[in-house]
Amino acid sequence: MKFLTSISLLCISLAAYAHTLTISVEKGKFQIDHSLKLILSQIDNMEHYADLTNYEDVHIILGDNEYRFINPPEKIEYSNSYIIDLNNEQYTLYFTQLPIITINTENAIVNEPKVLANFTYTDEDQSCSSMIGIELRGGSSQGYPKKTYDLEFWEDEIGEESRSVQFGALRKDDDWILDALYNEPLRIRSFISHKLWLKIHQPHYLNEEPKAKSGADVMYAELFLNQKYNGVYLLSEQVDKKQLKIKSYKGSIRGELYKGVSWGASTFSRLQDFDNNVRTWSGYEMKYPDEDQITDWTNLYNFTDFVLNATDSEFESDIWNRFNKGNCMDYFIFLNLLRATDNTGKNIYLAKCNVKGEYFYVPWDLDGSWGTIWNGTNDATTDDILLNGFFKRVLEQKSMDYSQSLKNSWIAYRKERLAQDELEKMISGAYNYLQSNNVYDREKRVYPNYLFDEDSKEYMTTWLDDRLSFLDSYYSSLVSTDLINPTVSGNAVYPNPTTNYISIKQAQEVIDEPYSIFTLNGEIVKRGRISATNNINISDLPAGFYFIKIDAQTYKFIVK
C-alpha cells in the first residue's frame, strides 16, 4: 500500500509539472508599445503566482492574443520583467501596481489651446474613460523630451461642458495635471514634497471652510500617449479656487489667487506700477477672480507696498492682520527644509480666502529640491537660508517675537512630522515603491538621463542629514537676530575654510577690540581681543560652522 501511494503521488506531481498555466488579463488593464516592444500590465491576485515551479509552460492572454513566456518563470512579481513571444516576435512584459493612463489624439498637443483627446484610466479598483482637452504645461520644461500636460475632462468634443472625475483618494474635479518629473533624478522629490506640505500645514480658516486643502495632493500613474510609453507621472490636483475654497466674485473681489511665475514683486524685491488691462504684474499671474469677472491688482499692490515701505512700528502692529502668521512660519520651514531655491516667489501661489482674511502661501512645482536645482543637477549646498523680501523683513523685526515662535515651531515639528527617521521613511517609501514596481527600468528605456540608482538615493538622504544638522543649529540660534544674515566673506576672515587659525583683514582697524566666537546655536566657544599678531588660534575647535563677532560685525567661517 505504501508503494502504491508513492506511485500515485508521483503521477500527480508529474501531471502538475507538465501543466500549462494560462493567465488572462482584462481588457483595459494592459497597454502595448510596439515600437519599444514593451507591454505594461496590471494583474489581479499577484500572490497566486508566487510559486510556478510546477508549471512547464506559462502563457498570458492580452486581448485577442496569447503570448508565451520564453522562459517559464518560477514566480511572477512586480519587480521583474519577462520576455514573452507572439508569432516569433518578442516583447518585454512588466507588471505594475501603478494606475495606467492612456491618451490618444489625432491633434498636435500645443501650449494653448487644449485639443481633443480620448482618455482612459485603470487601477485595481476603478476604470474611467472620457473625452478630454489636453495642452502642454510649464515654462522651460516644455523643452524637455518628456512633457507635462494640463487636462480638462469634457462631455462633448468641443469642451462646451466639462465633467468631474475622481482618481483614488484625490478630489473630484474636471481639471488635472500630469507632471512629467523629467528633471528629477529619482522621480520622487515632487511627490514627497507635496505629501509633506499637506502633512505639516492645514488652512487657517478650516472652521469656516472645513473642506479646504492647503495644497495639491498627488498620486503616481504611468502614461501611454498615442500608443507610446511615456513613463511615470504625477497625477496632480490643481491649486485653484476650488482647492482653497476661495470666496466667489460677486460684483466685488471676495477672494484672491495669484501665481508666482517670475521674479519681482513676487519676491518683495521691488514695487512697480500695475496695469489692470493685463493679467500679469511684476512676477505674478492673476488666477482668480477670472478674467471675465475683473482684473484689479490694487489689493496685491497695496500689500506689497506695505511690506516694502511701512515703518517698523506699522509693520509690527499690522502684518499678522494682513498675512497669516502660522502659514508664514510653516512655509518658511518647508521652503528651507527642501531648499527649494525656485520657490521664494516663483513657483508659489499667494492667496486670500476672503476679503477680510489674511494672505497665505501655497507651494507648487517642487522638483528643484532636496539637493537638486531646477534643471535636475545636484547642488549639495546645505548651509544657507532661503529668503525673500517678506521673510527677511519679518525676521528683522526684533520686537515681534517671531523668531522665537519660528524656533518653537521647528523644535515641535522635529519631534514628529519632521523627525529625521520620518523624512527618511518618506524618501525610502517612494523610492522603494517605484523600484519594487520596476518603474526605473522602464524610465531608463525611454529617458536615459539619470541612473535611478541606490547612489542617487544615498545622495538625497546624506544631503538631508546635513541639511537637518544645519537647520537645527540655525533655528536654535534664532533668539540672536545677529545670525539671521551674518556677513559671509572669505576676505574679512581668512583663511576660510581653515584648520589652525584665522586672521582678520584690515586688523589694524580693530586691534585690541574684543571678539567672541560662537557656534550656529549661539554657544560661545572662545573670547579674546584682536592682537597685533592678528592670529586667532582655533585649532581646538571641532570641524563645523562658526561665527566671529567683532565690533558689532558678524562673520561666518568654517573649520575643516
Q: Are 52 and 76 in contact (CB under 8 A)?
A: yes
* CA proximity to 427, closest of 459, 450, 451, 449: 459
Position 398 scores a pLDDT of 72
CA–CA distances in Å: residue 253 to residues 278, 319, 485: 17, 21, 38
The arithmetic mean of pLDDT across residues 382-411, rounded, is 90
Segment among 206-210, 265-269, 387-391, 542-546 with least mean pLDDT: 542-546
The arithmetic mean of pLDDT across residues 79-93, rounded, is 97
Q: Are 80 and 438 in contact (CB under 8 A)?
A: yes
Gap between the Cα atoms of 560 and 501, Å rounded: 11
The arithmetic mean of pLDDT across residues 236-242, rounded, is 97
The pTM for the full model equals 0.83
Gap between the Cα atoms of 368 and 189, Å rounded: 8
Sequence ranges of the domains in the chain: 17-28+41-94, 100-180+210-236, 248-483, 493-559
The C-alpha cell of 223 is what?
Answer: 502614461
- Other beta carbons less than 10 A from residue 377's beta carbon: 10
* CA proximity to 286, closest of 316, 246, 315, 258: 258
More confident residue, 484 or 336: 336
* CA proximity to 96, closest of 196, 231, 268, 256: 231
Give the angle subtended at the CA of 243 by the CAs of 240 and 249, to the nearest 5°: 60
Its CATH class, for the domain covering 248-483, is: mainly alpha
Gap between the Cα atoms of 387 and 343, Å rounded: 10
Gap between the Cα atoms of 177 and 157, Å rounded: 20
Query: Torsion angle of alpha carbons 231, 105, 34, 129, nearest 10°?
Result: 70
Average pLDDT taken over every residue of the chain: 91
The arithmetic mean of pLDDT across residues 227-250, rounded, is 97
Instruction: With a cut of 80, say whether residue 40 has pLDDT above it.
Output: yes
Query: At 300, is the secondary structure helix, strand, or coil?
Result: helix
Gap between the Cα atoms of 137 and 176, Å rounded: 11
294-327: b (≥16 Cβ within 10 Å) or e:
ebebeebbebbeebbebeeeebbeebeebbbbbb
Query: Torsion angle of alpha carbons 210, 212, 214, 216, nearest 10°?
Result: 140
Q: Tell me: the pLDDT tens digits for 542-558?
A: 888 888 888 767 888 88
80-116: b (≥16 Cβ within 10 Å) or e:
ebbebeeeeeebbbbbbebbbbbbebeeebeeeebbb
CATH of domain 493-559: 2.60.40.10
Q: Are 558 and 486 in contact (CB under 8 A)?
A: no
Reported as type and span, the H/E element at residue 10 is: helix 2-17
The arithmetic mean of pLDDT across residues 32-59, rounded, is 96
Reported as type and span, the H/E element at residue 415 is: helix 402-415
Q: Are 143 and 137 in contact (CB under 8 A)?
A: no
Instruction: With a cut of 60, say whether residue 481 has pLDDT above it.
Output: no
CA–CA distances in Å: residue 19 to residues 22, 57, 61, 446: 10, 7, 17, 37
Position 520 scores a pLDDT of 64
Q: Are 483 and 554 in contact (CB under 8 A)?
A: yes
Amino acid 526 reads: K
Position 9 scores a pLDDT of 30
Q: Tell me: the pLDDT tens digits for 105-151?
A: 999 999 999 999 999 999 999 999 999 999 999 888 899 999 999 99
Position 59 scores a pLDDT of 97
Task: Write the DSSP assignment of 327-358 as a string of letters.
Answer: HHHHHHHHHHHHT-TT-SSSSEEEEESSTTS-
Gap between the Cα atoms of 215 and 362, Å rounded: 6
The arithmetic mean of pLDDT across residues 77-88, rounded, is 97
